[in-house]
Chain A
Amino acid sequence: METKSMKQHMGMRTANTISNTIIHVLLVIISVIWLIPFVCIVLQSLRVESTWQVGYILPKQWGLDNFRNLLNTNFPKWYLNTFIIAVVAAALQTVIVLCMSYTLSRFRFKLRKPLMKFMLILGLFPGMLTMIILYRVLKDLGLTQANAVPGLILVYIASSGMGYYVSKGFFDTIPKSLDEAARIDGATRAQVLWKIILPLAGSIVIYTLLTGFMAPWGDYVFASYISFGNSSGMNVAVGMYNWLTPDQINNNYTMFCAGGVVVAIPVVILFMCLQKYYVEGVTGGAVKG
């Protein structure tokens, strides 16, 4: 009996080891494939022997010339533009989304359900559809070309309230009795949101901030449209794209790669710093569970 069960036990252990090994090998392969483009770009950005595309990956001569060259272009201006847009848009968008989600999660008002459905359907249409009219409106307001930065901020936060789904879903999981207790304790609705709900929803706040930052940071289409060829209103994606025109690409290719690396840095830092906030279980102990 004993040997049999031990054998079974051993059998299960080997099976576990085998499946674990397979899973890990697969994951390693996937991550290598995933990383190849990034590694290539980093390597290209450090190549100084030529500025055009070459048929090999490892540079023959290493150096930081490409990064130095970036400073002699409009790149710093574009970088600053993008940074301002992304930070302001992320901050405003987060405030709007969180207020929206809290309202939809906690208040019961007429047309609440229809409003949510309406926003869902509206959200199904691609944002690109609004591009032309947005351009006209912003042009009338004088917020295109050189003034594209405030114009783009407006575009990014304009419909951000419609992205309430994730945070509303999270707010719904926070017991309503916490709100009620706080309100009886003398808190206003705003105080409930700031002092009770948001501290419990830290991961959602971070998530909203991150997504709010990422979208403008990497945007090309709207940014190119609204800056409309004016270099001082461009963000990095649009500005750098102009380096890649057929007559320019051979002079700028490695610098383009260096720009790409610089663009990636804040995102990498953000994710590394903030990922620890993606923890569950912050609501433990609120109610008997």
Chain B
Amino acid sequence: MVAGLEEISGGTVEIDGEVVNDLQPKDRNIAMVFQNYALYPHMSVYDNIAFSLRLQKMPEDVIYSKVTNAAEILGITDYLMRKPRALSGGQRQRVAIGRAMVRDSKVFLMDEPLSNLDAKLRNQMRAEIILLRQKLNTTFIYVTHDQTEAMTLGDRIVIMKDGYIQQVGTPAEVFEMPTNLFVAEFIGAPKMNIVKTDLVKEGNRYFVTPCGAKIEVAGEKGDLLNEKNVKSGSILLGVRPEHMKLTFEAGADTIPARLEVNEMMGSELHLHVFTADGTRWIVRVPTIDLTAQQRKSLTNGAQVYITFEGKVMHFFDPETEKNLIY
């Protein structure tokens, strides 16, 4: 729709203040990188990149300098005379980006450009796209299913579900203050722990009572609950795995749990634990925080205790799934 390849079902699309609903793709001054690159197979890399410039009837020497310049930036100078089929995935990706770069367009559209690459190449290209964006200094619209890409590349993230926008915000905003359960579970890996529990108001103080423990909502979150005047009642409580704490001894606000799966990720452990009521929690523990003995004791079925601080909680309405303090 933004590119003009599909009909707009409602509303208007504006680029730089100009409504482009009825403009053909070629008149919108946009560049696009496709998920499958969509290189013209019968043309050399040079011709692929030069295609749009030739359609604009640019003089050949200008085209030459633009194409070689783009190739220089992307490191594909050596392949300019090759056909796309003689290139590797990462090289084709660069050609596709190069084809978009030479356009000098107002908007760059990227439709999951990295999803066809292997993990190592993806990291490398991601960094290169960040650099490219700084160099070109134009608007990028980047579609991705990969939240790492979204968080690292985005100035602003639009999270969509079934064609509807869930939240618009900076990476920090969507991470710290998700508008609803979908966004909360979508951003962050492993995903946020969600547990059904009660919110209890005692005077000006709020408590949550997961699995029999009683933990006070502290700091900003408590103030916000007060501000919104949230009543006691059933809620969905969300806590990110990295905000969970693991102890080996019972304490005042700890919840006893049984370890089921221990995923060793290298720098950290992902522990899947089950509390008495059958809820699964994921706890992210930095490997360095545990002694060798403690690490050894984390076998399947081990008894552990989990807890979390008051300031890291998220509260969602069990019915509407909206954030109660957003």
- A175 at the A/B interface (Cβ < 8 Å)? yes
A12 within 8 A of B: no
Interface size class, chain A: 20 to 34
Contact A184 B55 (CB under 8 A): no
Q: How far is the CA of A139 from the CA of B80 in the complex (A)?
A: 60
> A268 within 8 Å of B by Cβ?
no
Report the minimum CB–CB distance from B111 to chain A (whole Å): 9
Q: Which residues of A contact B56 (CB under 8 A)?
A: 186
Residue of B nearest to A287 (CB): B36
Which residues of chain A have C-beta atoms less than 8 A from B30's C-beta?
184
CB-defined interface of B29-59 with A at 8 Å, one 1/0 digit per residue?
0111011111111100000000110011000
* Contact of A188 with B26 at beta-carbon distance under 8 Å, contacts A285-B83, A285-B84 already known: yes
Interface pair B86/A285, CB less than 8 Å apart: yes
Q: Are A286 and B39 in contact (CB under 8 A)?
A: yes
List of A residues within 8 angstroms of B37 by Cβ: 287-288
Residues 66-102 of chain B, each 1 if its beta carbon lies under 8 Å from chain A, else 0: 0000000000000000011111010010000001000
Asked if A286 and B26 make an inter-chain contact with CB atoms under 8 angstroms apart, the answer reads: no
Q: Smallest distance from the beta carbon of A172 to chain B beta carbons, Å? A: 16
Q: Is A140 an interface residue (CB 8 A)?
A: no
Please give, as numbers and ranges, the residues of chain B lying within 8 Å of A285 by CB-CB distance.
39, 41, 83-87, 92
Q: State how many residues of chain B have any CB contact under 8 Å with chain A.
A: 32
* Most chain B beta-carbon neighbours within 10 Å: one of A182, A195, A287: A287
Task: Assess whether B55 is in contact with A185, with CB atoms less than 8 Å apart.
Answer: yes
In the assembled complex, how far is the CB of residue A55 from the closest CB belonging to chain B, in whole angstroms?
57
Residue of B nearest to A198 (CB): B42
Shortest beta-carbon distance from B110 to chain A in Å = 12
A286 touches B84 (CB 8 A): yes
- Cross-chain contact of A186 among B38, B55, B84, B89 (Cβ < 8 A): B55
Q: Which of A177, A182, A186, A191 has the most CB of B within 10 A?
A: A186
Asked if B5 contacts A180 (CB within 8 A), the reply is yes
A183 CA to B85 CA, complexed, in Å: 22
Partner of B41 from the list A180, A182, A286 (CB cut-off 8 Å) is A286
Residues 162-189 of A contacting B (Cβ, < 8 Å): 175, 177-178, 180-188
Q: Which residue of B lies closest to A288 (CB)?
A: B116
Q: Which residues of B contact A282 (CB under 8 A)?
A: 41-42
Task: Tell me which residues across on chain B come within 8 A of A186, comparing CB atoms.
Answer: 26, 52, 55-56
- List the B side residues contacting A183 at CB < 8 Å: 4-5, 24-26
A127 located at the interface, meaning its Cβ lies under 8 Å from any Cβ of chain B in the complex: no
Q: Are A284 and B41 in contact (CB under 8 A)?
A: yes
How far apart sit A196 and B41, CA to CA, in the bound complex (Å)? Answer: 9
B3 within 8 A of A: yes
Contact (Cβ within 8 A) B38 A286: yes
Q: Does A87 interact with chain B (Cβ within 8 Å)?
A: no
Distance between Cα atoms of A19 and B304 in the complex (Å): 71
| Set B38, B52, B85, B116: member contacting A177, Cβ < 8 A | B38
Q: How far is the CA of A199 from the CA of B30 in the complex (A)?
A: 25
Q: State whether the Cβ of A41 lies closer than 8 Å to any Cβ in chain B.
A: no
Taken together as a complex, chains A and B put the C-alpha atoms of A283 and B32 apart, in Å, by 21
When C-beta atoms are compared, the residue in chain B nearest to A286 turns out to be B41
Give the residue among B26, B35, B86, B99 with the most A Cβ atoms within 10 A: B26
Q: Which single member of A185, A188, A191, A286 contacts B99 (CB below 8 Å)?
A: A185
Q: Which residues from B are CB-within-8-Å of A175?
A: 36, 38
Of A182, A187, A288, the contact of B92 (CB 8 Å cutoff): A288
- Closest A residue to B92 by beta carbon equals A288
Q: Give chain B residues whose Cβ lies under 8 Å from the Cβ of A191.
A: 55
Residues of A within 8 A of B35 (CB): 177
Q: Shortest distance in angstroms between B200's beta carbon and chain A's nearest beta carbon? A: 55
Complex contacts, B92 vs chain A, CB 8 Å: 285, 288
Expressed in whole angstroms, the minimum distance between the Cβ of B139 and any Cβ of chain A is 15
> With the chains together, A286 CA to B87 CA distance in Å?
11
B15 to chain A, nearest CB (A): 13
Answer whether residue A146 sits at the interface, using C-beta atoms and an 8 A cutoff. Answer: no
* A200 sits at the interface (CB 8 A): yes
Residue contact A184 to B40, C-beta cutoff 8 Å: no
What would be 19 A-B contacts, judged by CB atoms less than 8 Å apart?
A175-B36, A177-B36, A177-B38, A178-B40, A180-B38, A181-B39, A181-B99, A182-B40, A183-B5, A184-B5, A185-B26, A185-B55, A186-B56, A187-B51, A195-B51, A196-B40, A284-B85, A285-B84, A288-B89
Identify the 10 closest CB pairs spanning chains A and B, nearest first.
A285-B85, A185-B52, A287-B36, A177-B38, A286-B41, A181-B38, A285-B84, A186-B26, A186-B55, A284-B85
